[in-house]
Amino acid sequence: MAAANHQKKGRAKRIVVAALALAALVAVGVGLAVAAGNDPGEPDYSGLAVETAPTMPQPPKVQGDDDGADDAAAESPVPADADPAAESARPLASPSTSGALHVEGSRLVDAAGEPVQLRGVSTHGLAWYPEYVNQEFFDELKRDWGANVVRLALYSAEEGGYATDALRSKLNELVLAGVEYATAADMYVVVDWHTLTDANPLTNQWAAAEFFRVVSHDLADHNNVIYEICNEPNGETTWADVKAYAADVIPIIRANDPDAVIVVGTPTWSQDIQDAAADPLAESNIMYTLHFYAATHQADLRERLRTAVEGGLPVFVTEFGICEASGDGKIDYDSADAWVELMDELNVSYICWNLSNKKETAALFKPSCKKTAGFTLDDLSDAGLWLVDTLGGAGFDAKEVMLARADKKSNKTGSAMMAFSSDTIQWQLNVADKWKEDGRVFFRYEMAGSNYSAATEKWSVAIPFNENIQVEDSWNCEVAVSGNELTVSNAASNGKVGAGDTVSDVGFIVSGTKKLAVVDL
């Protein structure tokens, strides 16, 4: 593939056409977009040239369980000299510095053959939330969030889907516009054929063939495009079905873009990567999809990922969430963090679901947020706060992110809780260490505070525990215990805190039983 900044005849015209098409989608309302916060299962079909508007609502994102892992894997080994720590220290990969990507063994590598990791976000269905596809926001994703990839999710069969509602030319232009925005932001982009309710990609193979023939032709001069040819095969779909579908669609892409990385979904909502490991495709530059939702999919599926990658299978987590598999329900921060730790260790790329303000846990924006760019921490959902914390982008102050998250998790090393003092300082309480000794459990807590109001000459905060505690040590503060409540007050050196200033390097060690925990504050 040619470099992203290589201008071929007609490309400038495509940029203009794509941008105009996107503006028409968002501003005029061609039946794809819905009002922010509305149910995306009810798009406005007024004025469309379709005889009957479908009435099928958007289905929930239901996935199967992750039982029955198979240890079979492909033969290409992970390089013996791989150093995950060294890899994580490398600068963020981008098209301008890393060039066109390709696959070597189980690794996604750059033009020079060095391993790269892509980390970013996915749109929700482009037909329902096209407004987030804009240049200002994509620039923001790279600059502020720390993302280096964005996924454009084009549903195949739902309302507004490519194969359903005869809006194909407009969806094509929206995808092209999104790619141009990602290119200008110096990000990689995954063009996703989002199979879901059609279950078997063979069902709408004709539409997929048409779509990929058009977009791969128009994007052949880009070095930053990855094609995901089927999102989540499910139901009775077998790996043999997926291979038959891939045998038809991949040559269509290769005819226009011989070297593009292509990602192939796996059965059971892209969880059965062991099937692909046992019988991989013969083509080069192929990766295989694993999807997970942290509150549902846990240690057994993580072990399946490890087995596959260490066995040589190139895996790309093109979609994940930190909630339940429905896209809603509770968040499991511990499982989410364990997933990220494993993916970073294995150098597996990952993309978080989803850029929307839909009223569901997986949406990264609060339902009340109507913005399409210029997001602050106040605009982000709990999932959104977790993501910006995980990506660690330069646009968000790490201490402010910690304060905003206020996870209120149990006493595990690295967990965080929020405490509010009686004065003007907002505190973050973190578990820095934990150990056992002489039948008791010891916790070392560290505190950091930000003053969002008027200057103060002194401060104190009461921290309730779920049982009586014993103070073992403290630093840069005064402490007093009354039963199960610990009061932490300023030392002589740090009581004066100006408006907008912070307090740090404050901490204490307490002990109790193994069930000791801070009460949610």
Tell whether the torsion through CA atoms of 500, 506, 512 and 514 is positive or negative: positive
Cβ–Cβ < 8 Å for 20, 224? no
Bridge partners (DSSP) of residue 317 are 350
**pLDDT tens-place string over residues 271-286:** 999 999 999 999 999 9
> Helix H segments across 316-397?
333-346, 382-391
Confidence band of 450 (pLDDT split at 50, 70, 90): confident
| pLDDT of residue 410 exceeding 70 | no
Choosing from 159, 173, 232, 324, the catalytic residue is 232
| Between 68 and 230, the higher pLDDT residue | 230
Choosing from 131, 180, 319, 360, the catalytic residue is 319
Three-state DSSP at 197 gives: coil
Instruction: Give the integer Cα–Cα distance in Å for 312 and 307.
Output: 9
Secondary structure letter of residue 204 according to DSSP: G
Q: What is the pLDDT of residue 413?
A: 63
Segment among 210-224, 300-314, 409-423 with least mean pLDDT: 409-423
283 is catalytic: no
| pLDDT of residue 166 exceeding 60 | yes
| pLDDT of residue 145 exceeding 50 | yes
| Between 16 and 224, the higher pLDDT residue | 224
**pLDDT tens-place string over residues 456-486:** 999 998 888 888 899 999 999 999 999 888 9
User: What's the whole-number mean pLDDT along residues 162-185?
Assistant: 94
Amino acid at 426: Q
Could you tell me what percent of the chain has a pLDDT over 70?
78
| pLDDT of residue 60 exceeding 50 | no
Q: What is the pLDDT of residue 167?
A: 85
Confidence band of 419 (pLDDT split at 50, 70, 90): low
User: What's the whole-number mean pLDDT along residues 236-250?
Assistant: 98
Confidence band of 340 (pLDDT split at 50, 70, 90): very high
**Block residue for tokens 């602050």:** 376
Cβ–Cβ < 8 Å for 123, 152? yes
User: What's the whole-number mean pLDDT along residues 47-76?
Assistant: 32
Segment among 174-178, 291-295, 419-423 with least mean pLDDT: 419-423
| pLDDT of residue 137 exceeding 50 | yes
| pLDDT of residue 26 exceeding 50 | no
Nearest to 170 by CA among 54, 17, 15: 17
| pLDDT of residue 89 exceeding 90 | no
Task: Label residues 313-339 b or e (16+ Cβ within 10 Å = b).
Answer: bbbbbbbbbbbbbbbbbebbbbbbbeb
CA-derived radius of gyration, the chain: 25
Two structure tokens written together for 233: 């095969």
131 is catalytic: no
**What is the number of other CB atoms lying within 10 angstroms of the CB of residue 502?**
15
Q: What is the pLDDT of residue 519?
A: 63
| pLDDT of residue 401 exceeding 90 | no
Task: Return the HEC string of 26-68.
Answer: HHHHCCCCCCCCCCCCCCCCCCCCCCCCCCCCCCCCCCCCCCC
Q: What is the pLDDT of residue 252?
A: 98
- State the pairing for strand pair 119-123/149-155: parallel
Instruction: Give the integer Cα–Cα distance in Å for 500 and 325.
Output: 40
Two structure tokens written together for 460: 């104190």
Confidence band of 428 (pLDDT split at 50, 70, 90): confident
- State the pairing for strand pair 470-475/440-451: unpaired
Instruction: Give the integer Cα–Cα distance in Å for 477 and 465.
Output: 18
Segment among 157-161, 355-359, 397-401 with least mean pLDDT: 397-401
Mean pLDDT of the chain: 83
